[in-house]
């Protein structure tokens, strides 16, 4: 019974070694993180969350984008990009499906919000907060429509088809009169509530409430995604990403799980789009181009594909750099392009590498086994039945 298992343990150890083969500042960080107990990890996260919440209020010097861009607004933009990158990370990082048209889902989310709240649309008007779940439902629908015919294709074909989808959404926004092309929709709704002076809390020029809302949503989404990663779906995604044929042979219904990844990614994209529409209070066809899609992808890769925290950090950076260094904002694509190339050549796993643990609680199991006196070299944990 032990012989094959020992082999698996060695293979897993070898994988871990490989993923930690390139020492760097971040690898050390990751190792420190993995060495902590679960409660310690939660404590660190809680402190980090408080700091993140206070970011626009503190408005720290050096970090602030103030003279040129309002810092709270910068923070919301960062948060919205981080949320979008989080969604794309499910598709690209977890399931290994290259989606180059992610902006399409973002656009659909923004348009759903505009259509159901703006005075310029002839639709039934519903409160803004209800459009968030509605945007998710509509984008999931779009994700499935796009995924059903294309997810059976090979990886790079999928890339070109998704790219086409993103373009089609942008062009339809121009063509369909009900979507108002470049004129767009003014006065997109916002969450309710007024402060003591009777001004709306969620005004388009006040970043802090929007920021808190978005960060809260990010935290909820991250908790849900963390559970997903440790579930059967997450394992299926990793298996599909690593070797689709092998996964299929081992009985993983890869198509179904790929479609799931696509749908979940789409829903998060739609959600971030809806927040984007609400924050700006204006939605038209100008901001949903292929380049932005590529920026989202750059965010995921920058942070480290397959790593939630990496995606959030990557997304925030992509939004932050042009707003902070306005002198170079014009050249942001040049800079991001160069960073992407250098990253891929010298550190292709991104700033925080992906976590290659196929086995969910491998780190804890290893620690538990190595803590026992006179223990044999750690055998791999048994995968709970899936």
Partner 1 sequence: MHTLLAAAAADESWITLDWSALAQDFWPSTIDGLTFGSIYALVALGYTLVYGVLNLMNFAHSEVFITGAYAVVFTLSGLGFGASPPNLSWAAIALNLVLACAAAMAAAAGVAFLLERIAYRPLRRRNAPRLVFLITAIGMSFVIQNIFFAWRGATAEPAVIMMPTKPVFDIGGTIIYLDTLIIVIAAVAMMVGVDQLIRRTRLGRGIRAVAQDPDTATLMGVNKERIIVSTFVIGGVLAGAAALFYVMKVPSGVVFNGGFILGIKAFTAAVLGGIGNVRGALLGGLLLGVIGNYGQVLLGSSQWTDVVAFVVLVLVLMVRPEGILGSNLAKVRA
Residues forming contacts to partner 1 in the complex (CB under 8 A) are 92, 96, 98, 115, 122-123, 138, 141-142, 149-150, 152-157, 159-161, 163-165, 167-168, 171-172, 174-179, 290-291, 294, 297-298, 301, 305, 331, 333-334, 336-341, 344-345, 348
Collapsed DSSP state (helix, strand, coil) of residue 263 = helix
- Residue 12 vs 121, nearer CB to partner 1: 121
Using the minimum distance from each CB to partner 1, give the nearer residue, 32 or 123: 123
Query: Is residue 353 left, alpha or beta, with left meaning phi > 0 and alpha meaning psi from -120 to 50?
Result: beta
Match 């294709």 to its residue by tokens. Answer: 153
Q: Nearer Cβ to partner 1, position 124 or 249?
A: 124
Nearer to partner 1, 115 or 275 (CB): 115
- Residue 57's CB is within 10 A of a number of other CB atoms, namely 12
Of 102 and 211, CB closest to partner 1: 102
Which regions of 93-194 does DSSP assign to beta strands (E)?
Answer: none
Give burial (CB, 10 Å; 0-12/13-18/19+) of 197.
Answer: exposed
DSSP string, 76-106: HHHHHHHHHHHHHHIIIIIT----S-HHHHH
Nearer to partner 1, 134 or 312 (CB): 134
Rounded Cα–Cα distance for residues 56 and 36 (Å)? 29
- At closest approach, how far in Å is the CB of 174 from partner 1? 6
- Residue 298 C-beta: closest distance to partner 1, Å: 8
Taking the least distance from each CB to partner 1, the nearer of 71 and 116 is 116
Give the shortest CB-290-to-partner 1 separation in angstroms.
7
Shortest distance (Å) from residue 8 CB to partner 1: 23
Beta carbon nearer to partner 1, 1 or 345? 345
In the bound complex, what is the minimum distance in angstroms from residue 261's beta carbon to partner 1?
15
CA–CA separation, 159 and 341 (whole Å): 19
CA distances 175 to 170, 178, 182, 282, Å, are 9, 9, 10, 18
Cα(147)–Cα(265) distance, rounded to whole angstroms? Answer: 11
Are the C-beta atoms of 359 and 381 separated by less than 8 Å? yes
| CB 153 to partner 1: min, Å | 6
Least Å from the CB of residue 164 to partner 1: 3
Q: Residue 239: CB partners within 8 Å, gap ≥ 6?
A: 246, 247, 250, 252, 358
Q: How far is the CB of 280 from partner 1 (least distance, A)?
A: 21
């Amino acid at each position: 019974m032990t012989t094959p298992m020992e082999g698996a343990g060695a293979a897993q150890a070898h994988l871990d070694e490989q993923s930690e083969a390139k020492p760097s500042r971040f690898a050390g960080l990751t190792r420190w993180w993995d060495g902590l107990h679960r409660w310690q990890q939660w404590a660190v996260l809680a402190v980090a969350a408080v700091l993140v919440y206070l970011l626009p209020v503190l408005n720290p010097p050096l970090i602030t984008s103030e003279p040129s861009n309002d810092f709270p607004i910068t923070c919301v933009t960062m948060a919205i990009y981080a949320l979008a990158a989080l969604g794309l990370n499910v598709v690209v990082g977890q399931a290994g499906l290259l989606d180059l048209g992610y902006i399409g889902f973002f656009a659909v989310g923004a348009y759903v919000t505009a259509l159901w709240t703006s005075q310029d649309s002839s639709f039934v008007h519903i409160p803004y907060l209800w459009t968030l779940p509605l945007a998710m439902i509509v984008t999931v629908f779009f994700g499935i429509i796009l995924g059903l015919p294309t997810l059976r294709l090979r990886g790079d074909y999928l890339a070109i088809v998704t790219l086409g989808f993103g373009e089609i959404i942008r062009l339809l926004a121009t063509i369909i009169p009900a979507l108002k092309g470049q004129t767009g929709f003014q006065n997109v709704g916002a969450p309710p509530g007024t402060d003591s002076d009777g001004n709306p809390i969620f005004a388009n020029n006040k970043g802090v409430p929007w920021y808190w809302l978005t960060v809260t949503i990010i935290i909820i989404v991250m908790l849900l995604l963390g559970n997903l990663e440790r579930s059967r779906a997450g394992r299926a995604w990793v298996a599909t990403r690593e070797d689709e044929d092998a996964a299929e042979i081992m009985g993983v219904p890869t198509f179904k799980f790929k479609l799931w990844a696509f749908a979940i990614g789409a829903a998060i994209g739609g959600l971030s789009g809806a927040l984007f529409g609400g924050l700006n209070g204006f939605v038209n066809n100008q901001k949903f181009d292929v380049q932005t899609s590529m920026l989202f992808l750059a965010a995921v890769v920058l942070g480290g594909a397959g790593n939630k925290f990496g995606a959030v950090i990557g997304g925030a950076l992509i939004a932050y750099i042009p707003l902070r260094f306005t002198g170079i904002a014009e050249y942001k694509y040049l800079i991001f392009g160069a960073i992407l190339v250098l990253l891929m050549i010298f550190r292709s796993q991104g700033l925080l590498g992906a976590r290659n643990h196929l086995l969910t609680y491998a780190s804890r199991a290893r620690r538990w086994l190595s803590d026992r006196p006179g223990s044999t070299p750690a055998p791999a944990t048994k995968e709970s039945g899936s």
